Amino acid sequence: MSFVGAVFGYPLFSLGCALLLSASLSWERFFPTWQVPGAAMIAMISYSLYLSHKMTSHAVHLLLNPESLAGSQGFFIYYASSIAGGALLWWLIERPFLRLRDRLLLKDQA
């Protein structure tokens, strides 16, 4: 990353993300029944996605030709593989253990 990108690009990107978050919070207040398709799934797998995205991207980099991962095609391959890896981790690990936790907590309350 260049000096200019690190000094100016990253803070501008962070500011943009903060403004998008702020706008989405205000949007929810004015349009409470409108739902974004796919947003619930992304919210459910977000922690699994956070845990697995670097490993998934590295695996894609090792499996595919690095030259084919340049540009928008590479972005979409990395994006799709990260979402798939996060969903798989959530489905196979996180979801069963959350169900187990709920069953154990119900036993404790009875």
Q: What is the pLDDT of residue 88?
A: 92
> Is the pLDDT confidence value at 1 over 60?
no
Helix axes 39-63, 71-89, angle to 10 degrees: 120
Q: What percent of the chain has pLDDT over 70?
A: 96
Together in a domain, 17 and 45: no
The mean-pLDDT minimum among 19-28, 52-61, 72-81, 92-101 falls in 19-28
Tell me how far apart the alpha carbons of residues 94 and 85 are, in angstroms, rounded to a whole number. 13
Q: Which domain holds residue 23?
A: 1-34
Which amino acid type is present at position 56? T
Together in a domain, 103 and 52: yes
Q: What is the pLDDT of residue 28?
A: 66
Higher pLDDT, 71 or 84: 84
Together in a domain, 61 and 108: yes
Together in a domain, 90 and 102: yes
Together in a domain, 78 and 103: yes
How many other C-beta atoms are found inside a 10 Å radius of the C-beta of residue 44? Answer: 17
Together in a domain, 104 and 73: yes
